[in-house]
Structure 1
Amino acid sequence: MKLNQVMTEKLIDGATKMLEKAYVPYSHFPVGASLLTSDGEIYNGCNIENASFGLSNCAERTAIFKAVSEGKKQFDYLVVTGGTEDPISPCGACRQVMVEFFEPDMPVLLTNTKGDKFETTVKELLPGAFRSEDMN
């Protein structure tokens, strides 16, 4: 799915605004995400750290879990941003959660605060992913 420029910019803006809400007292590395559902709703997320690092949650998973907790299960587009030199790259845990809830060909736009962009898909982010069908 190719979004129009207005919607793409709205999602980038939503993800960027989440950088200010990130709770990152340990890493000082804020990340923001903005997720578009198939019915046009937007769920934003930021990373939330914990002194017990394993209990921290990434921006992408925050946005996904917020949407799923509200009954949303159909998604069209995800934007992720951060203060990285190149467009930010999701961690492995986030990639696996994306595989659980997104179609393989769903676009994911990776950005940074400098305005660089790289559009990819869920399948390209995690080729050979372990999927729910593998449990059958």
Structure 2
Amino acid sequence: MDDLIAAAAAVRENAHAPYSNFKVGAALRTRDGQVFAGCNVENVAFPEGTCAEAGAIAAMCAAGAREIVAVAVIADSPAPVPCCGGCRQKIAEFAGADVPVMMATTSGARRQVTVAELLPGAFDAGFMK
């Protein structure tokens, strides 16, 4: 997970957060070992911005990958910041219930959970049959 935290921390510096000043970076790993990163991008027409996790997932999909095996998210916060509800569902679209999600702070605090712990009772394609 250290490499994912480093990738998330690096891309966090590119976040566009002039309104909240709350920069977030995310990185994910696919089954074949590729790493994709994203940062939050705010928009004055709130809530039209995008989350860091959504950016990393979009980059993964644009590259043709579809399976997440690990996720890391980092922010400058007092405690490791969890993904928002929408991003929890986005992650669950491409990750199994046991996939680790590492939440970190820029000061070094970390907390790891699984996708299932992050989003219990996730809505999935099985409900659409």
3-state SS of paired residue (2:47): helix
Normalization by structure 1: what TM-score?
A: 0.91
Tell me, yes or no, if structure 1 residue 108 matches structure 2 residue 101.
Answer: yes
Query: How far has the Cα of 1:116 moved from its partner?
Result: 0.7
Q: 2:38 aligned with 1:41, yes or no?
A: no
Aligned residues: 129
CA distance in 1, matches of 2:116, 2:2: 23
Q: Which runs of 5+ in 2 are unaligned?
A: none
Q: Secondary structure at the match of 1:34?
A: strand
Does residue 1:14 correspond to 2:7, yes or no?
yes
Q: 1:134 deviation in Å?
A: 0.8
Amino acid at match of 1:91: C
The residue type equivalent to 1:104 in the other structure is A
SS at match of 1:55: coil
> Any unmatched runs of 5+ in structure 1?
1-7
Let me know the Cα RMSD of the aligned residues. Answer: 0.9
1:1-136 matches, cutoff 5 A: 8-136=1-129
Identity of aligned residues (%): 40
